[in-house]
A = this chain, B = another copy of it.
Amino acid sequence: MALIVHKYGGTSMGSTERIRNVAKRVAKWVRAGHQMVVVPSAMSGETNRLLGLAKEVSPEKATPQTMRELDMIASTGEQVSVGLLALALQAEGVAAVSYSGWQVPVKTDSAYTKARIESIDDARVRADLAAGRVVIITGFQGIDGDGHVTTLGRGGSDTSAVAVAAAMKAAECLIYTDVDGVYTTDPRVVPEARRLPVISFEEMLEMASLGSKVLQIRSVEFAGKYRVPLRVLSSFTPWDIPLAEEAASGTLITFEEDEKMEQAVVSGIAFNRDEAKVTIMRVPDKPGIAYQILGAVADANIDVDVIVQNVSHDGKTDFSFTVHRNDYARAIDLLKTKVGPALEANEVVGDAKICKVSIVGIGMKSHVGIAAKMFRTLAEEGINIQMITTSEIKTSVVIDEKYMELAVRALHKAFDLESPQAA
């Protein structure tokens, strides 16, 4: 008997029929002897409906007061879900009780619409589990120190589930979603992409941050910090498949490096075409220059991803970075009208038609020549590299958008990701 946390997304909770299927699945785990905590999202579409109503009454700019009310409104979607799932479990003959974040309580800071979990009191949940009840807890929300309802922001239910699993010291947190695991790359781009039965926490973090939208990145960080074994698996399997088969499916995200397991050098290829590149040419290469540029960008609430500064010539350097495409026009304007003139920069140029492609693998730490192999592979395909950044377990390049699929396929093949993972 183990304590297990299940998390179900909005699609899994999308209709009363689907909710009844979730209940049947959870009941199967209960009957196998497990103590179960379930964290469901709002029914799909519900959060958008609620925020749409809010926008209709208050189209104005967000303030702390309006954001407090948005959280009051948006948090009801999950409260309906937990109540319905409790009813569905009771109808299956399984004792169940639902709680909103404030009832557990899940304590957060007061950053409405994007709060962070500070602590979870496990006493009430443990008492219910000891009494033989399934405990169903709203995802996405909590309560701040003054008793106000907060939400964690979009996708926050993943984080809620992992946080609950951490607080309860659960044996495993299973995230049921509409994909059946983490792949070596996007199967829509590379049909030969393989599901990874296991991936390290660090690799998952890079994959998530690089645009593999399987898991919310905050939930992965949380799992890493509290060493919660996390499994991503499909919610589309029939609820009555054998439990042993279900428990071994999907992708396990582990924080333990198994010495005996031969590490694949590269585990996956991530990519992202949401970015645009901006370069400010020939700025003075002197202390404080990066801050002068990026400080102004940050003040304008523009997030920056890749940053590259190369060696200087004649005391001048070129400074490049990428921003989200939605911010591209604003970033160019800011550099041309404010930052550039102040620095007596030569020119501001940009390109919105770029993409970022990354190879990720914990084995890169101990293997030389991985980046070189990446660059050679791209060169053989005639693909020019515009920017390069590296970390311990990742190498990213920025290239022309039109080569994205070609680059991903070539790298997937070059690093032999079609073959089954060594296990």
Contacts and interface: CB of A to CB of B under 8 A. Distances in A.
A32 interface: no
Nearest to A68: B97
B102 A87 contact: no
A90 interface: yes
Contacts of A327: none
Nearest to A84: B57
B58 A72 contact: no
A76 interface: yes
A332 to B, nearest CB: 34
A98 interface: yes
Interface in A58-95: 58-60, 63, 65-66, 68-70, 72-73, 75-76, 79-80, 82-88, 90-91, 95
Contacts of A53: 16, 80, 84
Contact of A72 (B50, B66, B86): B86
Contacts of A259: none
Contact of A58 (B76, B87, B147): B87
A11 interface: no
Contacts of A83: 54, 69-70, 72-73
A17 B59 CA distance: 13
A80 B76 contact: yes
A56 interface: yes
A87 B59 CA distance: 9
B84 A66 contact: no
A13 to B, nearest CB: 11
Q: Is the interface of A mostly helix, strand, loop or mixed?
A: helix
Nearest to A23: B57
A103 interface: yes
A210 interface: no
Contacts of A76: 76, 79-80
A352 interface: no
Interface string A100-130: 1011000000000000000000000000000
A351 to B, nearest CB: 41
Contact of A66 (B57, B75, B90, B148): B90
A20 interface: yes
B57 A87 contact: yes
Contacts of A60: 90-91
Given A16-B53, A76-B76, A76-B79, 12 more contacts: A16-B57, A17-B56, A53-B80, A63-B90, A65-B96, A69-B83, A72-B83, A72-B98, A72-B100, A73-B79, A75-B79, A100-B149
Interface of A: 16-17, 19-20, 23, 50, 53-54, 56-60, 63, 65-66, 68-70, 72-73, 75-76, 79-80, 82-88, 90-91, 95-98, 100, 102-103, 147-149
24 contacts: A17-B56, A20-B57, A53-B80, A54-B83, A57-B85, A58-B90, A58-B91, A65-B95, A65-B96, A66-B87, A68-B97, A69-B83, A69-B87, A69-B90, A70-B83, A72-B86, A73-B79, A73-B83, A73-B84, A75-B79, A76-B76, A76-B79, A79-B79, A102-B102
